[in-house]
Each structure stands twice: as C-alpha cells, then as structure tokens.
Structure 1
Amino acid sequence: MTNTKRNYALAISLLSAFFVLVCLSYFSMDTSAITIDGEPVHGIAGVGLAIGGVVIGCIATFFALGVTGIVLAGVSIFLVALFAFIVGAILLAILPALLPLLLIIGIISLIARKNKRL
C-alpha cells in the first residue's frame, strides 16, 4: 500500500467516524437536554448545537494528543541525553583503571606498525 492510498484510507475512516458521531448525536439527542435561557431547543437548531459540541470535542482531542506527543518527544530526548551523560561519566571514571591496558595496546600497535614498514 502506497502512502497516498494509506492517506486516503485514513481520511475516509476519520470522516466516517466523524459522520457516525454526528448521527449518534442526532439519534440519541433528547430535546429536553438542550436548553438555552430555560427554553428547550428543538429541531435542526438542537442538532446543530450537538454537532458543534462534537466538532469542538474532536478539535480539543486533536490538540490534546498533539501536546501529549510533543511532551513525550521532549522527555524521550531528555532521557537519551541523560543516558549518554551517565555512560560518558562511567567511562571517564574507569579510564584511569584502563590506562595501563591502553598503554600496552598502544605500544604493541606501534611496534607492529614499525615492523610492517621494514
């Protein structure tokens, strides 16, 4: 499946889910539940208010998920940097213990390099 087909499938599924939410709000709407200034709202105005509520809820969900994603990305970057700092600190702490081994490896590689030139 190409990206274009996947995007079309995602858009169609989101639009159909939104349509189902609108239909559910229309069929499950109690006319006495929507009141403005003590007056019940009937008919197409009540459906319009219900649809407006669904739209506002979808927009709020979208932005809440976006902010959550940004926060999680920032926290993950911080944790990766913290892990790198801790590993670097541990390596710097054990460097003096490895210094004799590094000197021996350096001398052996220097001798091996000089023998190859001859």
Structure 2
Amino acid sequence: MLNFDEQIKALYDYYGVSNDNQLSKKLGYTSNSALVDWRKKQKIPAKYLLNISMNRAGAIAIGSQNIAINGDNNALNHQNDITNTPKFKEFLELFTKYGNDATLDGFIKKLNALKEIS
C-alpha cells in the first residue's frame, strides 16, 4: 500500500499535474481546500485512489460505475447464467418457502430422466 505522499504523487502522475492547485482543478474543485484537508487527515477519498489502482493495473475504464478486476478465475455479470433469471429466482423463492427433500428428489429424478433421453 502506498503511503499518503506516494498516493498524492500517483494522483499527480495520473492527472498530469505537478501541484495541489492543478490537481484540485482536475478533480473539479474550485480551490485546493479539499487537498489541504486530505493532507491534514493524511487520507485521500477512496474514489480517487481507485483511479491510481486502475492505472497501475493497466485497466481501462470508460464511463461511470466501473469495476476493476485483476487476477485469475474472475467472473462477473453472469447474464447467461440461468440462476440469474427471473424465472429461476421465482422457482427458488417458491422452493425455499414450500419445498422439501421429497420435492427436490422429484426434480432431480425428472432432470436425470431428461438427461438420459437428451
């Protein structure tokens, strides 16, 4: 983890600036009072640190509400996953409320029969 001064330097690099006044303007502030406060508390808001992290990871973010993921075997947004469909969610809700082992055994038996003929 970077210390506070390293984080500020990384923000300078990310935004292509060399002082707090320039950085404040890049971040949309009308003065550098926010950065004065950051320095006093030795803490930068997480939303700005995300920019540093994404830049260091080589991530590209376009638009808003982005997520940066690094590493292996990551999965996100299972749009083709049946468990994410309204019909499956309805089934799960009903089964949770009214189902039991016997009901589940019946579903498994029927699905296995379908598997055999497929």
TM-score calculated relative to the size of structure 1: 0.24
Query: Higher helix fraction: Structure 1 or Structure 2?
Result: 1
